[in-house]
Chain A
C-alpha cells in the first residue's frame, strides 16, 4: 500500500528526444508528488512537484502529467540533453502533515549526444 512503482529502470534517449518516466501508486493517502534528480555522487535534488488536483505542471523542459483516476503520473523531459543524464526518482508524500515521503526505485536516464 505504501509502494510507488516506477518504470523503466533505465532509459536511453538521443539528444533532442523526449524522455518519459512513469510512476504508479495505490495508496490514496498520498497527496503530493515530487520528482527528484540525482547525479552520481550527489544527493537527490527536487526537480518538480504536483498536487493531485492538477493534471499537468510544466517547468521549462520538464512536465509532470497526473492521472488521478488511474493513480499514475509521469515525467516528460522535452528536448533531452546530455546534461539531463541522471537518475530520476518519483515520490509520493502522505497527506496530513506527516511529511512521510515514499520513493520509487529510480530510473537511470542516459542522453546520448
Chain B
C-alpha cells in the first residue's frame, strides 16, 4: 500500500530534550515536506526537500532541523524543544503529475507533540 508513515504518532516530552520524528514514504517520491498544524493557523511549512541531500526552509523553520540522506526518509529533528513547538506535525511527499510536472502532496497521519 502506498503511504507516508510517521513515528511516533504521539509524544510528550520536556523542554530541551532532543527528539526526532521519523517520516518514511514507499512511493519513490522525490519531494518531501514537513508541516505543523495549529488551531486557527492552518498548516505551515517547516522544511522541504526536493531530493536526497537537497533541503530548504519553509515558512517556520526556527527550532527545527531536517536531513535527507535517503530518498524514502525525511526525519524532523528538534534539538532543544520548547513549549511553543507543541503542535500537530505532518509529513508529506509528492508525486509528479503528467507532463505538467507539478506535484500533488500526500500527507502522513500526523504526530501530536506536546512539550512541557
Contact = CB atoms under 8 A, between A and B. Distances in A.
Are A and B a genuine interacting pair, yes or no? Answer: yes
Contacts of B45: 100-102
A18 B72 CA distance: 40
Contacts of A41: 110
A6 B41 CA distance: 11
Contacts of B110: 41-43
Interface residues of A, number: 25
B102 A2 contact: no
Contact of A89 (B43, B59, B101, B109): B43
B110 to A, nearest CB: 5
B44 A44 contact: no
Interface in A58-77: none
A45 B48 contact: no
Contacts of B4: 43
A7 B60 CA distance: 23
Contacts of B42: 6, 89, 103-106
Given A46-B104, A99-B94, 19 more contacts: A2-B59, A32-B102, A34-B104, A36-B107, A42-B109, A42-B110, A43-B92, A43-B107, A43-B108, A45-B107, A49-B104, A98-B50, A99-B31, A99-B48, A101-B45, A101-B105, A103-B35, A103-B42, A105-B41
The 3 residue pairs across chains A and B that have the minimum distance between CB atoms:
A43-B107, A105-B42, A103-B43
Interface of A: 2, 6, 32, 34, 36, 41-46, 49, 51, 89, 93, 97-106
